[in-house]
Chains A and B, each alone.
Chain A
Amino acid sequence: MMSVPGARLGVLRLPLLGAFVRWRHARTAAQLPVLALALLVIYDGFFGPQLAPKNLAGVLPWLHWRGLVVLALLLVGNLFCLACPFMLTRGLARRLVKQQRPWPRALRGKWLAAGLLVLFFWSYEALDLWASPWLTATLAAAYFVGAFVVDGLFAGAPFCQYLCPIGQFHFVNALASPAEVKTCDRAICRSCSTKDCLKGRLVDGRWQSGCQSGLFQERKAGNVDCTFCLDCLHACPHDNVTIAWRLPTSELWTDPLRAGVGRLGRRTDLAALALVLVFASFLNAFGMVAPVYAFERWLAGLLHTDSEALVLLLLFIVGLIVLPALLALAAAAASRALSGAKEPLLALATRYSYCLVPMGFGMWLAHYGFHFLTGALTIVPVAQSAVADAGLPWFGAPRWDLGPLVPASWLLGIELLFLELGLLGSLVAAYRIAGAHLADHQRARWAFLPWAILALALSLAGAWLLLQPMEMRGTFLQG
């Protein structure tokens, strides 16, 4: 018998929570409250006051949801995808469209998703998404329509795997999470002839889907493309799938052949996606501090343009594509020169780029955690106000004095702690990747060094950003 470490102490062993996860309607039960919140966001976004701090579409997605998803990733894993309300449309679409075609081969992989992520981050700044309840509501509604259309037309889980920017955020950052869906005992999988975790099966007369992402449990490793939908857990006839604890970032230390994914070290598209997300964590925070406006004005002057969208486009292309590529290739070149490795530069860059994911996750945690901790309680007056405006003064006068969850003096310490935890995770991951790649310890240390320096430089950049005064503007090119 070959039991998997961590599996026996998994979430399923916990009282109440374990029973809930085993319940076949657990995911739907998690999705429905989030669906209700999404509908409220759409409703208030379209019909409520168009001032973001006073609208549920301004507060719930950009403050609470973002803060809670990074905390969930830190403490458990990809819980948002588990509770994703957009996926409720998949079942509906497939009841209406009986026959789905395969997703085009040319679009498989993460290049399109990486491009959509860059587009999303650019539009977030260029259109001031956070400041527009109407646009936020439109985006949420578009998500429902997009998921409905794509998963209605194509088989599997193409919306999640190849398109959804939120999904990619979770897949990549969940590499650093402490839990994953995995088998309890791989020997049971090897003796299994039905592969129901992949194909699905009838359970009590009702069809239970298998993994729509094609992650066959016997060879599934880690969180890439896993939406925590629990389909495999419920489809397995041997009760052999669980949510298991593990050391955070540990799935980066080795590079096994992963079902549905392949080897991370050979997935240039996935490494590119990871780099986009790592650098986006810094660029997204850069957009909120005072020096960014002077820099953007300088850039606009240099380009002789008054188009904010153009300046931001250039900034995002350089910041999310050119700079990450150059730095990763430079680190790979230095790593190769110091260690005497013979691999092509791109292969080395791909192999090691994942080590920066914890650093990026630390920055996301620091940034989104800051907003959540400073403004979590603003949901109270906004909800009071929304209900009162609907003619139902059930909750009294809005308490606009409510806001922070913790004293302001704690914030910088918490942010820096998240950031440095990310650095620690990246250093450990880089060291372990080098150790797994090169048997000679001395050469492995040399291979590790440039990536450690890059992670450290990112950490220092993050600390500098966190120490800057915040500044919030709708535009930087105002007269």
Chain B
Amino acid sequence: MAQCAKRRPRPLVWVVVALLAVATALVLPACRGQTAGPSDIQMTMQVAPSPAAVGPAEITLALRGADGSPVLGATVDVEGTMNHAGMVPVRVRTEPLGEGRYATRDFHFTMAGDWIIIVQAALADGRKVERTFELKGVAGEGMGKPADPAGQMQH
């Protein structure tokens, strides 16, 4: 087209664009991977009621060391979220039940569907552990569709 030949360079714009791109790469230098923490800690999650449904639920976590001994004295936080942006996650702190078991008291499934349960544990020795569980098919209120059939998951 005729105007293509007439167009004159506008270098300033492209310098700004390039600088923005470089700045973005520099400002965020690190990959944002989630750390899982020590691998010698085994974590098992149970959800009650099972099958899970929208409403109050109790999530119980059992923490074991590599030798099977219960992990005592940990501070364990549970975060429930879903795969769609925009919902406020459900975040609660568990209470210890003894023998390495920790349970939530006021956890609520706020929507039907597939949930992601993120467990963060601060161990008594200062180490931190994070595990993620998928809980598929949390049923809507009054709906009997089973969630995770076993109701128990291991990591």
Contact = CB atoms under 8 A, between A and B. Distances in A.
A32 B17 CA distance: 7
Contacts of B27: 390, 392
Contacts of B28: 40, 43-44, 47, 386, 390
B83 A32 contact: no
B111 A471 contact: yes
Q: Which of B25, B79, B89, B141 has the most CB of A within 10 A?
A: B89
B117 to A, nearest CB: 12
B31 to A, nearest CB: 5
Interface string A10-42: 000000000000000100100010011001100
Contacts of B30: 389-391
Nearest to B110: A470
B84 A32 contact: no
A58 B85 contact: yes
Most chain A beta carbons < 10 A, residue from B2, B20, B24, B30: B24
Contacts of B5: 98
Contacts, number: 159
B29 A391 contact: yes
A202 B4 contact: no
Contacts of B143: 290
Contacts of B88: 375, 378, 400-404
A59 interface: yes
Contact of B1 (A130, A155, A202): A155
A91 interface: yes
Nearest to B111: A470
A425 interface: no
Nearest to B16: A32
Contacts of A402: 88
Interface stretch (B7-15, B40-48, B64-72): B7-15
A238 to B, nearest CB: 19
Given A473-B136, A473-B137, A389 B87 contact: no
B113 A389 contact: no
A479 B143 CA distance: 17
B116 interface: yes
Contacts of A47: 28, 31-33
A67 to B, nearest CB: 9
A202 B7 CA distance: 9
Contacts of B141: 469
A63 to B, nearest CB: 5
B111 A49 contact: no
A382 B144 CA distance: 34
Q: Which of A43, A100, A401 has the most chain B CB atoms closer than 10 A to its own CB?
A: A43
A130 B3 contact: no
A369 to B, nearest CB: 12
A107 interface: no
A53 B86 contact: yes
A86 to B, nearest CB: 12
Interface stretch (A176-184, A206-214, A358-366): A206-214
A374 interface: yes
Given A469-B112, A472-B114, A478-B136, A130 B10 contact: no
Nearest to A390: B28
B12 to A, nearest CB: 9
B3 A35 contact: no
Contacts of A478: 136-137
A200 interface: yes
A128 interface: yes
Given A390-B32, A478-B137, A403 B87 contact: yes
Interface of B: 1-10, 13-14, 16-17, 20-21, 24-25, 27-34, 54, 79, 81-89, 91, 111-114, 116, 136-137, 140-141, 143
12 contacts: A32-B20, A47-B28, A53-B83, A58-B84, A63-B85, A131-B84, A378-B85, A391-B30, A403-B87, A470-B112, A472-B82, A473-B136
Q: Which 7 A-B pairs have the closest CB atoms?
A: A375-B86, A403-B88, A472-B113, A131-B83, A48-B32, A471-B112, A389-B32
